[in-house]
Homo-oligomer: A and B are copies of this chain.
Amino acid sequence: MRDSWATSRAAPPSDEDGPRGVPGVDLHLEPHGSGLRAGLMDALREAVRTGRLAPGTRLPSSRSLAVDLGVARNTVADAYAELVAEGWLTARQGSGTRVARRAEPRRPAPVPPRTRPARRGPAHSLLPGSPDLAAFPRARWLTAARRALTAAPHEAFAYTDPLGRIELRTVLADYLARSRGVYAAPERIVVCAGFIHGLMLLGRLLKARRVRAVAVESYGLDLHRNVLTEAGLRTPALAMDARGARTGELGDLPDARGVGAVLLTAAHQFPAGVALQPDRRAAAVDWARATDGLILEDDYDGEFRYDRQPVGALQGLDPERVVYLGTASKSLAPGLRLGWLVLPEELVGEVSAAKGGVDWASSSLDQLTLAEFIASGAYDRHVRSMRLRYRRRRDQLVAALADRAPGCRVTGIAAGLHAVVELPPGTERSVVEAAVWQGLAVYGMDRFRHPSVPPGPDALVVGYATPSDSAWPGALDALCRVLP
């Protein structure tokens, strides 16, 4: 299509009062899109943008351009009028239609639409933090979407309640009580766009309450610490050991009076993999009660426990002191951007306000789809089936390492989507580098270390849920090859 339309000559540019002696320019009109007028407008805009039609250039009269192009005069006149309204051209009595002085030329051509160059990814990934995306239950999710979309009231398409859809909150309250021992009522639940969004809302709330710091476990995700830092909060490190975070030391942190909350991965510490032991749970609650503090419980993979029933959430111990943060990112997929907060009653209003009045973050249709997905039992079935799949992989991991890397102990394997492979002292960095050469993406423990604590024992954090079933054996083999 390009260059296929007639070209036409623009009259020479002129100064304010009359024609100047600049030679005429070809308009080279290149219509695209449908419709004569729209195509003409596009072509003129582009000619101005690229500088082919300079500011001040006088355009041919609509009559003569129409003749050149073989179109109705009105088509050209309308296009000119539109472009005058948009500010591209000016029309003045006696001076004709000209390119507006302000439409300054830009760089030669628009950036052509293109996809970004495909990055050569690693051949194998055992990075933690992702479920097996190939196992996303597409058909059943679509069934739920169809049911939800069919049943939704019209108001489901409107701006929605900042707490989230009541249908989802009702179903979640039941599910969380049943599967995680969470003391949940729909009125305490706020739907959010995944964990990060929930943590942003809480960071804002804590800052508004004049909290100065949130204690974090000495190993964790820098992304989470950054969210709190960006909310204006410090993130002092709480030491950990084999029984979990040393919550009894919350009162001994530097500037302890400014610490208004603690972020804990109680069911399955990320990344160390230990469960917070009963005395540590009790100490956390005691601290919160004594200091009017809050516990933020990041229950990211609480559904996945392999050798016995899941350990229930800490939240049930004191629902007025613990904020429970749950997510569909590990149980279904991060791409859904669906998470939930279960809040102390007195915080519901503040969190809702922190959302900005309307629920601007989460699609109502997605919320209704998830509600239908849980209510139909598809969620439980999916979690059960993934639990079996991940347990099998975990067992294969343990067996393979016992066989091929007997010097490396595996820990943190009772639950979750990752395990910790302990390494001989001083070898972590070289093992991670060796993995790169094997095309295997895997993180060392040190990557998750809080910057204020000294390096700990060498280890790898192995996300065994990440590969697809077909990619898993190759990834496991690559791992065994790089272990000492």
Cβ contacts A441-468/B at 8 Å (1 or 0 each): 0000000000000000000000000001
Known contacts A278-B86, A357-B223, A363-B335, A183 near B49 by CB under 8 Å: yes
Contact status A333-B158, CB under 8 Å: yes
- Distance between A383 CB and nearest chain B CB, rounded to angstroms: 14
- Distance between A248 CB and nearest chain B CB, rounded to angstroms: 13
A181 in the interface (beta carbon within 8 A): yes
| Complex Cα–Cα for A309 and B149 (A) | 33
Residues of chain B within 8 A of A32, CB atoms compared: 178
Known contacts A37-B309, A110-B183, A319-B106, A157 near B85 by CB under 8 Å: no
| Complex Cα–Cα for A301 and B448 (A) | 46
Residues of chain B within 8 A of A472, CB atoms compared: none
Known contacts A155-B133, A197-B360, A357-B223, A87 near B335 by CB under 8 Å: no
A484 in the interface (beta carbon within 8 A): no
Of A138-146, A212-220, A253-261, A403-411, the one touching chain B: A138-146
Known contacts A157-B335, A183-B49, A193 near B278 by CB under 8 Å: no
Chain A residues 113-140 with CB under 8 Å of chain B are 113-116, 130, 133-134, 136, 138
Closest residue of chain B to A311 (Cβ to Cβ) is: B85
Contact status A113-B186, CB under 8 Å: yes
| Complex Cα–Cα for A183 and B112 (A) | 11
Contact status B110-A136, CB under 8 Å: no
Task: Please state the number of chain copies in the assembly.
Answer: 2
A378 in the interface (beta carbon within 8 A): no
Q: Report 15 cross-chain contacts, Cβ distance below 8 Å, ordered by A residue.
A: A33-B178, A41-B312, A49-B183, A82-B311, A83-B312, A86-B311, A87-B278, A87-B314, A111-B188, A113-B185, A134-B154, A138-B150, A158-B335, A194-B360, A363-B366
Contact status B87-A317, CB under 8 Å: yes
A166 in the interface (beta carbon within 8 A): yes
Contact of A149 among B84, B142, B178 (CB under 8 A): B142
Contact of A358 among B38, B152, B196 (CB under 8 A): B196
Chain A residues 12-53 with CB under 8 Å of chain B are 32-33, 37-38, 41-42, 45, 49
| Complex Cα–Cα for A45 and B425 (A) | 44
Chain A residues 193-247 with CB under 8 Å of chain B are 193-194, 196-197, 200, 223, 226-227, 230
- Distance between A300 CB and nearest chain B CB, rounded to angstroms: 13
- Which residue, of A320, A335, A361, has the highest number of chain B Cβ atoms within 10 A? A335
A349 in the interface (beta carbon within 8 A): no
